[in-house]
Amino acid sequence: MAEADQPSTARMIDFWLGGEHHFPVDVAAARAFETAYGPCAAIFRSLRDFLGRVVRSIADAGADGFLVFGAGVPAQGNVHEVASEATVLYTDVDPVTIRLGQRLLAASDRAGYGFGDATDLGTIDPAQLHRFVPGWGRRPVGVVFLGLAAFLDDATLARTLDELYEATAPGSFLAIDFDSEELTGYPEALAMMGPAFRMRPPAAFAPLLGRWQPTADGIVPVAEWRVAGRPAAVPDAFYGALATKPAS
Ligand SMILES: C[S@@+](CC[C@H](N)C(=O)[O-])C[C@H]1O[C@@H](n2cnc3c(N)ncnc32)[C@H](O)[C@@H]1O
């Protein structure tokens, strides 16, 4: 497969998780970011562990189809590996990451990967959507929206989440996270995230969920969300929540 000439945050995360699906350009960017900020592996492990707990919770509540936005690399404990009985459609906008994901999932009849701009549901191939998220709009599903909110401004994020609420069936779930203001103290690292990068305090995030209702767990540092035992000792760089569209 042709190598990427630009780094991707998704493949940098794969590097930090100890995966094998990234390129030298991603490793160089990850190392430069760590020089400006500090070690990242434990932070992204804790974020991936949150994904595991929240996806397991959704599956245990009965959802057996997942639509994943800004999916990145479908490995290292990603959705189809956690919800091993469910069907999963991963989507992203980065063509290199999409091709990588399609290669990784080529042998799966339970998980697929396609283009999808989270801000425009119409960009998802309807055939893929209905194959991997059967009953979309009619049956409760899990929507996974992790690592993405930071790249959308408030108005776009609020509109996107509201359109997802409208499109999903009652009883559906939304797993979501956002970046805290952790990088404020690290201007060089912040600059590496680009001009569109948004950090938010927890109080500013809750209203953006609109009609989605956070569970009683609240919006908390991801390491603390429904954790058994002591949370991982990592900076509170990411907050997360599980929200529902109540069954009517
Ligand atoms: C920080 S990575 C997160 C990857 C993955 N969710 C994870 O947690 O490992 C953000 C991903 O969002 C994708 N992305 C950015 N804007 C997007 C959009 N409007 N719609 C869908 N994906 C987008 C990027 O291409 C990238 O793969």
What is the best residue among 47, 80, 151 to mutate for testing ligand 1's pocket, by most ligand atoms within 8 Å of CB? 151
In a domain, 67, yes or no: yes
Under the banding of pLDDT at 50, 70 and 90, the label for residue 248 is confident
Residue 126: give its domain's CATH number.
Answer: 3.40.50.150
Q: Is 98 in the pocket of ligand 1 (CB under 6 A)?
A: no
- Residue 120 structure tokens: 């425009």
pLDDT band at 3 (very low <50, low <70, confident <90, very high): low
- Cα-to-centroid distance, 121 and ligand 1 (Å): 15
- pLDDT 10s digits, 27-71: 999 999 999 999 999 999 999 999 999 999 999 999 999 999 999
Contacts of 187 (CB under 8 A, 6+ apart): none
CA of 79 to the centre of ligand 1 (A): 14
Q: Is residue 149 part of a domain?
A: yes
Residue 124 in contact with ligand 1 by CB distance below 6 A: no
Residue 120 phi, psi (nearest 5): -150, 95
What one-letter code names the amino acid at 48? R
Task: Answer whether residue 194 is part of any domain.
Answer: yes
Give a yes or no: residue 3 inside a domain. no
User: Which residues have CB under 8 Å from 51's CB, separation 6+?
Assistant: 77, 78, 79, 82, 144, 146, 175
Structural domain includes residue 1: no
4 lies in some domain: no
CA nearest neighbour of 234 among 32, 41, 78: 41
Q: What pLDDT score does 4 carry?
A: 75
In a domain, 80, yes or no: yes
CA-CA-CA-CA torsion for 105, 107, 111, 115, nearest 10 degrees? Answer: 50
User: Is 59 inside any structural domain?
Assistant: yes
- The domain containing residue 162 runs over which residues? 9-228+236-244
Share of the chain above pLDDT 70, in %: 99
User: pLDDT tens digit string along 190-202?
Assistant: 999 999 999 999 9
- Does the predicted model carry a pTM greater than 0.85? yes
Note the pLDDT tens digit of each residue in 92-136: 999 999 999 999 999 999 999 999 999 999 999 999 999 999 999
At 237, is the pLDDT very low, low, confident or very high (cuts 50, 70, 90)?
Answer: very high
Domains contained in the chain, number: 1
193 lines ligand 1 (CB under 6 A): no
